[in-house]
Amino acid sequence: MKMEVALPTDVNTAKRPVRILASYVMDADNVSENHSDELHSLASLAGRAIVAAAADVQVVFVDSSNPDSSVDRSLTKVDGVLMLGGMDVDPRRYTDDAAEIAKAEASSPVADAFEIDLIRTASDRGLPVLGICRGAQIMNVAFGGTLITDLGKGTIHTIAGATDFCDHPVLIQASSRLGSIYPAETVDVRSAHHQAVDQIAPGLRVTAAAPDGIIEAVEAADDRWLVGVQWHPEDEGGNREHLDLLAQALIAEARKIHENRLNG
């Protein structure tokens, strides 16, 4: 069930000039095979949704736990970035509390370093970045924010505190970039996470929250197109319309970058 690090399409890539780099972290030594397979499936579904959203899009995957090139080279001729879900962000990135560090599950220092550099560099270059689950969390950490290391058992974010997906509502700020993407202020989302954004990073703002107050979405407070959602719209049990809306928004911004490059 392992996903090939390649385009999730057999269409002639010459006809797909808008390039989205999709970063994933799911194959580290301390990740179980079942969890890894699930993460590969989610990444494949997300990649296919991006490709299906427009006729001129190409998705290229990079394994952030074992990247085959530098961040600078990975972003060459890339018009947008998709940060996918995966294992925990290492708490040592944002705390020195031993008790909090001990709560973390599987993590990859290599992946954390690569994705933090990837997000910062993409932002510096004006590229749009969409983060899903871990993608939203690493976005917050990359700019100096912190995470709740473990939400504990019995939350609304997983079934009985396990890793099974469940659904719960979130309230989206209508005045946000995310609010312009989603048609309703309250939506039911597909959820499965035990970490979450805690202290928001400088330069970011909270744009959605769950009924229990847990932060569910962040985005840049300025005109940078950086959007992170905690939920998994790409899950098979998720709302496909929600995934399509996010994909189309990312592609629209990426197309601007591509056209500017062609005309520059």
Q: What amino acid positions are annotated as catalytic residues?
A: 133, 232, 234
CA pair distance 251, 220, nearest whole angstrom: 17
Taking a C-beta distance cutoff of 8 angstroms, is the pair 194, 105 a contact? yes
CA pair distance 229, 210, nearest whole angstrom: 12
Q: Looking at residue 4, what DSSP letter applies?
A: P
Residue 75 contacts by C-beta under 8 Å, 6 or more apart in sequence? 21, 81, 118, 121, 122, 125, 127
SS3 62: strand
CB burial of residue 251 (10 Å; 0-12, 13-18, 19+): buried
The residues that bridge with 167 in the sheet, in sequence order, are 190
Taking a C-beta distance cutoff of 8 angstroms, is the pair 190, 97 a contact? no
The residues that bridge with 172 in the sheet, in sequence order, are 208
CA pair distance 136, 75, nearest whole angstrom: 19
Question: What is the number of other CB atoms lying within 10 angstroms of the CB of residue 37?
Answer: 15
CA pair distance 262, 203, nearest whole angstrom: 30
The residues that bridge with 58 in the sheet, in sequence order, are 19
Taking a C-beta distance cutoff of 8 angstroms, is the pair 228, 130 a contact? yes
